[in-house]
Amino acid sequence: MQLKPINQQVVAVVGASSGIGRKTALEFAKRGASLVVSARSQPGLESLVDEISQIGGKAVAVTADVSEFEQVKAIADRAIQIYGRLDTWVHCAAVNLYATFEQTTPEEFKRIIDVNLIGQVHGAMAALPHLKREGRGSLIHVSSVEAKRSLPFHSAYAASKHGIDGFLEALRIELIHEKLPINVTNVMPASINTPLFNKSRTKLGVKPQGLPPIYEPQAVADTIVYVAEHPTRDIIVGDAGQVMNFIQRLSPRLMDTLLLQAGFKLQKTTEPKPEDAPDNLFEPISNFDHVEGDFSKKTQPSISTWLETHPRIKWGIVFTLGVAVLASYAGNT
């Protein structure tokens, strides 16, 4: 499957007002892509388009709630109207709730499914006809490592992320069956330092945080830009996410034990946050339209992600280590 160079692509980034989506849009713009950016926050989109313009990029904004299909369709339609085509659809929009299952109301659970899962479905439905007409392209869906392993306090969130993984598996094989050169990628970040934790609804009594270690949005944005040129099935961003997925596949009960020991307390900060604090579950909130969250001092680089997006170096290291092992074995025989 041959995808266009980034500087020849028209890219839609959904969930672009803050966090991963915002950083991703900026990275595509730096590399010369033409952009349509979307989110619920109009001020966030306006500031993003202005920032992209300042670095010499091209972007138009469409305000949309991804739970409404017609609003999502308008994003793809705008790309066709302005640029004449669509090459890559990047879907990042998500909301979250920190609460036990028993604390979660039916309305809250449904809202998370509507945004995080049905919103992603709407994105694929809106983009796919245009990608098929173009003859190639990418559907890049940002889910979470929780597409593979759920965490406590995240029954709704993890259910939505598992659902993304399931629907992408079906869609991918259907496109392969039709012999359509359309890449379908599931990008699964571990804990990322974004404003998500500020904007999430919480019933923990304190401000939540991602399960450490935490990584910067740059790692996810770099990964998304990479897979937009290099067809990739699934990719986990963050060494901890790789380890978590490995342990889950090896022994789910072992993963249960680890989460019982650390999964509850490590998702809590010591900063009080009442249950009625402003959140973006049903409506956007202001003052969080930026890339990074509050945990920059706790972040670390992801070596595994860097190697995944630099395969020549990765396989060079593997080859060198293999030669060294064989030489050592030969020397001892």
Domain ranges of the chain: 6-301, 303-333
Looking at the annotation, which residues are catalytic?
A: 157
The phi-psi region of residue 45 (left if phi > 0; otherwise alpha if psi is between -120 and 50; otherwise beta) is: alpha
pLDDT, tens digit, 9 for 90 and up, residues 136-174: 999 999 999 999 999 999 999 999 999 999 999 999 999
Instruction: pLDDT tens for the chain, 333 residues: list them.
Output: 789 999 999 999 999 999 999 999 999 999 999 999 999 999 999 999 999 999 999 999 999 999 999 999 999 999 999 999 999 999 999 999 999 999 999 999 999 999 999 999 999 999 999 999 999 999 999 999 999 999 999 999 999 999 999 999 999 999 999 999 999 999 999 999 999 999 999 999 999 999 999 999 999 999 999 999 999 999 999 999 999 999 999 999 999 999 999 999 999 999 999 999 999 999 999 999 999 999 999 999 999 888 888 877 877 876 677 777 777 767 776
Q: What is the dihedral of CA 21, 93, 188, 31, to 10 degrees?
A: -20
pTM confidence score: 0.93
- Mean pLDDT (the chain) is 95
CATH number of the 6-301 domain:
3.40.50.720
**Residues whose CB is less than 8 angstroms from the CB of residue 324 and which lie 6 or more positions away in sequence, other chains included:** none
Tell me if residue 97 falls in helix, strand or coil.
strand
Burial class (CB in 10 A: 0-12, 13-18, 19+), 190: buried
